[in-house]
Structure 1
């Protein structure tokens, strides 16, 4: 706040004639300008703050009695005004060519005329254009200075929360169950909202159940969802998945757990940066997308899905703008998680040049942002065909780690069966005499050597369909029957899986820990029958 205040004050003192601030937070900007205008230590010469709107005209001291709703008339008053002042013009972008209309050339010319007179005025005068969008005609690009007015900082939102807590503590109507770390998480969740939006979110959280606690992070994220819904490029992913719904992959899970809360102030004591992201590659159907969704629940951060296909548009230059908007939106609601599913489909073959270099420019912009981003946006990229990705994307500095998800081991298949059976066998009549016992789980895991997680889920679903069709309880034989019917990917895509494993052995870390990668003897025999190798891809690094 202090840096922003001093920077704006210096621009006023240096007699910059025109400043342009693009923001929805008019009240917050006006409060800052009035604070600067009355602070002699910052600006030396105290100035009046006079506002203009097309609905009210000029409002302030000594602006005359005439009708100043006309933009041209208002500029004439500003030019002839003889006292130190800062003029704030609301929504002037409508004269600069908004909504496809041509700019008002008479007003543009008038602004250029008074630019030099503002600089030479005996008493300092400045003009601030305040609009929700940034729009400048080419004729004024050299005369107007753009001032970036960021969304509220952590301390500003915390101040709003503290005020609400204090007011409601005095009233005694709201129960407050927050320690300092939980309060920090709540404030971090609200970053990316305007002060008004954050205040509304906190107030809504309080009135919904009469208390404020860490569980109200969900309410804050719902408010952020509104921001995403207004874009067509990003999708806000709502899911109830958690890490308990993901069987196996303990190495990757441990890596993620160690980085939980790394965007909080407590991590700054250790000098830790926020993690950049992970690239998860491997055999299709082994849980890459599943664990990407589960990270959001573990970290309690909003999950945004970026569809690279939506970035590209038919209009020249719009694809690059779409990428910039997607990144700005993700950063606006940071800390957040940006998920790019099957990234190879969007960035493969970018050097072919068949689109006039559009894909290359978009890819370059994305790489630069990945390397230099300062906002806590954690990027999760998943890929099946890793070999088709550009090598620039894979080097250190883009992602913190590259994980390889192989076909599940015996232990992992046991866990996957347990997850899906517990999820569906909730009715005692459907379960009948079937028990989710270690013996049954081991037996089913032994039957499904070479199956991926998606195929194991299908075994459970199809087995239940067998029982449903006959109107009876499910049995072990139902699942056994389906296991023998399914031809796994290990057979249909044996060559592709071998290529992926060969690549991962030297370039990626195994998502499965070393202790889980030891297969039973009978698994080796089953693998021989399936004509696949039991040597598993990914370097053995346990986190």
Structure 2
């Protein structure tokens, strides 16, 4: 990454580009790279001296020479215009005087910069100005004179160098035990991707002092540092990854597929020539575990879970939606490897371009292009309840690795769901004690909950605990039975809607339920020729 920046900068300097803008919080890294390029005759042919300017120090040369009375940016630019030697001037944090959105900048500074661009282009000696600031702010008057240069965040190699250096520096400390092999160090370096070198160093230092041992168990410390990055960006939400895949009852086909892709962004997968997995689109009956799966995947893989709210993308000032989408994507890639969760994606992209001057279409196009071309390990999990309303271009191969259909739970899956929720409640001494969860109890509850979604089973159990709480006693089996009998499940109130979703998924999606768990006890239309494996929608595939 640094080599790419060096190559680009060297080309721009040789081509006598007068003004370049670099957006970065890491001005020291930028200065290091600029000095490396400016002083290398093999890169720029004519080596140049580097001057730096800031509001606090004024204009200074690397050898310590200072230009007096140059703390004012206009005076500093005048001093540059008088210099007749090969130079590269790096101005730090000039953006406040260049104006903001809807606010004009300092006209004297902007005018001098236009004069400087003209003089630098026509001068006999090579001179260039590099603007370094954490925000990219180029006033309209300078748009044709300023070239924006991308400065990437530290690469895995850069971060690995910081980690190895810190481990060497602290290896002799009796208060620290290092329990990291090469694989663990790789995980640490990949986990810190998206952080600046300073942020990564802080995270590693915190992991070391946390408990006196640095091991893969300290990876959550790195993720906490990334959480701060996401919060500052504002468009994505960092979600706590509480449940595990084992906490989800059923969906064995989907869980098996996800389990086989764990760690697919590490070097071991690269040795196989495998690309990082792109993501999955999960559709199906509401309340059957689609969103819970997104949270569980991030927890199982030990990587951050980010939630993208499409509504936030379209919020804000007119014309900002495209920028918001690009910013959200850039933040997700900076935090990678991560899981990007887009819940109910059809709410944001179902009717793109309708009555909004094409804004939705442009945002959707940017998102599709990124899905197709992304190279960073951002695993996208999109969920949809009304998938037939999604544009067909989102569903074609290349956007997602697979489309899964989650149906109402089968008998075997309902048994697993009851076990998960009952075990959680029975651990509470105020709730457990009166109810013995044995095979007979599970069999009865499984039969009574025929046609219920996982969310409805959970809600029925919560309602039963409320009944027990009202009488200040432990939970009884009849409480649960009564809650089930009194509930009207979605399979009855939305029978036609569920049948339509199944019909769509029958030949277009993979069943999330494992073949060994299929049964025919859920009320639904039964195909005559295809046999029982078609009863829950989605083509049967073994992973």
TM-score (norm 2): 0.94
Residue pair 2:345, 2:384 contacting (<8 A) in 1 also: yes
Residue pair 2:236, 2:309 contacting (<8 A) in 1 also: yes
CA distance in 1, matches of 2:88, 2:430: 76
Deviates further, 404-413 or 453-462: 453-462
Residue pair 1:449, 1:527 contacting (<8 A) in 2 also: no
Task: Provide closer, same or farther for how the CA distance between residues 404 and 180 of structure 1 changes in structure 2, counting only shifts above 3 A.
Answer: same
Per-residue CA distance 1:97-125 (angstroms, 9 max, x = gap)? 13642122332222222224323444322
Residue pair 2:241, 2:305 contacting (<8 A) in 1 also: no
Q: Report how far residue 63 of structure 1 moved.
A: 5.9
| SS, match of residue 507 in structure 1 | coil
Aligned twin of 1:338: 340
Residue pair 2:59, 2:67 contacting (<8 A) in 1 also: no
Q: Report how far residue 348 of structure 1 moved.
A: 1.5
Gaps of 5+ in 2: 526-531
Q: Report how far residue 26 of structure 1 moved.
A: 0.6
Aligned twin of 1:83: 85
Q: Report how far residue 452 of structure 1 moved.
A: 0.4
| SS, match of residue 268 in structure 2 | helix
Residue pair 2:426, 2:433 contacting (<8 A) in 1 also: no
Aligned twin of 2:164: 162
Residue pair 2:288, 2:408 contacting (<8 A) in 1 also: yes
Alignment of 1:87-486 (within 5 A): 87-98=89-100, 100-313=102-315, 315-351=317-353, 353-428=354-429, 430-486=431-487
CA distance in 1, matches of 2:312, 2:434: 50
- Structure 2 residue 542 is the aligned partner of structure 1 residue 542: yes
Q: Report how far residue 470 of structure 1 moved.
A: 2.3
Per-residue CA distance 1:385-411 (angstroms, 9 max, x = gap)? 111111111111111110000000011
Residue pair 2:177, 2:213 contacting (<8 A) in 1 also: yes
Alignment of 1:484-523 (within 5 A): 484-519=485-520, 523=521
Q: Report how far residue 314 of structure 1 moved.
A: 5.4
Aligned twin of 1:15: 16
Aligned length: 534
Gaps of 5+ in 1: none
CA distance in 1, matches of 2:69, 2:306: 49
Deviates further, 60-69 or 443-452: 60-69
Residue pair 1:63, 1:77 contacting (<8 A) in 2 also: no
Q: Report how far residue 68 of structure 1 moved.
A: 0.8
| SS, match of residue 98 in structure 1 | coil
Q: Report how far residue 281 of structure 1 moved.
A: 0.3
TM-score (norm 1): 0.94
CA distance in 2, matches of 1:96, 1:331: 29
Q: Report how far residue 428 of structure 1 moved.
A: 4.7
CA distance in 1, matches of 2:471, 2:69: 83
Q: Report how far residue 486 of structure 1 moved.
A: 1.4
CA distance in 2, matches of 1:174, 1:538: 53
Deviates further, 200-209 or 81-90: 81-90
| SS, match of residue 102 in structure 1 | coil
CA distance in 2, matches of 1:42, 1:356: 47
Per-residue CA distance 1:512-534 (angstroms, 9 max, x = gap)? 01110134xxx37x779xxxx99
Deviates further, 356-365 or 399-408: 356-365
Q: Report how far residue 174 of structure 1 moved.
A: 1.1
Aligned twin of 2:76: 74
